[in-house]
Amino acid sequence: MEDPFRTIEWKGDHIRLLDQTLLPSREEYIAIRTVDEMCDAIYRLAVRGAPAIGVAACMGVALGMLTAPEDNREEFDTRFKAICAQISATRPTAVNLFWAVERMEKLFQAASGMAPAQIKELLVAEAIAAEREDRTICENIGLMGRDLIDDGDTILTHCNAGGLATAGYGTALGVIRAAFEQGKKIKVFSDETRPLNQGSRITCWELQKLAIPVTLITDSTAGSLMQRGLIQKVIVGADRIAFNGDAANKIGTYSVAVLAHYHKIPFYVAAPLSTIDKKIDSGTQIRIEERDPCEVTHIGGICVAPSDVRALNYAFDVTPHELIAGIITECGVARDPFVKDFESFFSR
């Protein structure tokens, strides 16, 4: 079954993306015509999710270079560097953003002997390829992880690691979808995922579109359901995974992992290799994005706290590898000690 939506698409002179801040009530696609607009879309989570942010970054670089001057090489190169820096400054945690910019930088470097017009064409082709590859990678993650799910399982997921967090098919939801497409009778509990409610707004919307049974719960309900034996597996996405397997994901994921550990429920992370950061060997090195406290004190623009109350708004937390039963990638399921499997996957 094709995705019932297209997360992001290159359209020649603009990028078309589904504005995820409007879901579930409005399914609206917007046209991104400048780097400023792409950076704004990434920062305000109109496009979000580590792999999707990576594809958006590739497309943002290619888009920004369309109007770069071709008659002045120094200006052309300066423009490229400025675009990469601007996109890299949007959100700090998802490593896919930086991996994507690095991918475009390597291409730009390799093509340095070519004419500007040719380089522009190469950047566009690379951005289009990035979107297509991400979709295939997610389908492979689904195939690698689906047998971890048993017929009759109820699975808990947190935030949204579905088709809309990627260029299609999803990571955590991709595994769930692949098991469902095998014919397994499964159900999903979706944490609402405060403060931006990616779970209630996006995961529930996606799973209903795929006819996968989903029940929305508050973030504070998960423990009680585990205590009553109503959850058999947990599968979440990731934004950055250290080489020892420590995984950064949406705030609240760590709490779910501790609860799952206590209740002896397998806790899985699903992510492409591009989310594994080879440069760090511990989750303590992952920079956690801190966002506007108004996202906590307001819901839909309505204030739900005293106007002058202090609010903490960490967008992610880190789950130590000891709490992770397996990390599902397009190359297979890595198990602790994760380094060993990661080294094998990257050597292929």
Ligand X SMILES: CSC[C@H]1O[C@H](OP(=O)(O)O)[C@H](O)[C@@H]1O
Taken in order 188, 191, 193, 197, the sign of the CA dihedral is positive
DSSP notation for 27-40: --EEEE-SHHHHHH
The residue count for binding ligand X (CB under 6 A) is 17
In this chain, which stretch among 127-135, 157-165, 260-268, 298-306 interacts with ligand X, using CB under 6 A? Answer: 157-165
Q: Using CA atoms, how far apart are residues 50 and 237, in angstroms rounded to an integer? A: 9
Question: Token pair for residue 298?
Answer: 């307001």
Q: Report the residue count for the chain.
A: 348
242-261: contacts with ligand X (CB under 6 A): 249-250
Q: Which of 18, 39, 50, 59 binds ligand X (CB under 6 A)?
A: 50
Q: Which of 140, 166, 203, 319 binds ligand X (CB under 6 A)?
A: 166
Q: Which of 10, 17, 23, 48 binds ligand X (CB under 6 A)?
A: 48
The single residue listed with the structure tokens 């590739």 is: 58
DSSP strand pairing (302-303 vs 298-299): antiparallel
Please identify every residue annotated as catalytic: 239
Q: Is 249 annotated as ligand-binding?
A: yes
Name the residue nearer to ligand X (CB basis): 235 or 265.
235
Beta bridge partner(s), residue 247: 241, 319
Which residue sits closest to ligand X, CB atoms considered? Answer: 237
- Is residue 131 within 8 A of residue 55, CB to CB? The reply is yes
CA–CA–CA angle 223, 251, 43 (5° rounding) = 150
Q: Which of 7, 90, 198, 319 binds ligand X (CB under 6 A)?
A: 198
200 touching ligand X, by CB under 6 A: no
Q: Is 72 annotated as ligand-binding?
A: no
140 touching ligand X, by CB under 6 A: no
18 touching ligand X, by CB under 6 A: no
Query: What is the contact surface with ligand X in residues (CB under 6 A)?
Result: 45, 48-51, 159, 161, 165-166, 171, 198, 236-237, 239, 249-250, 315
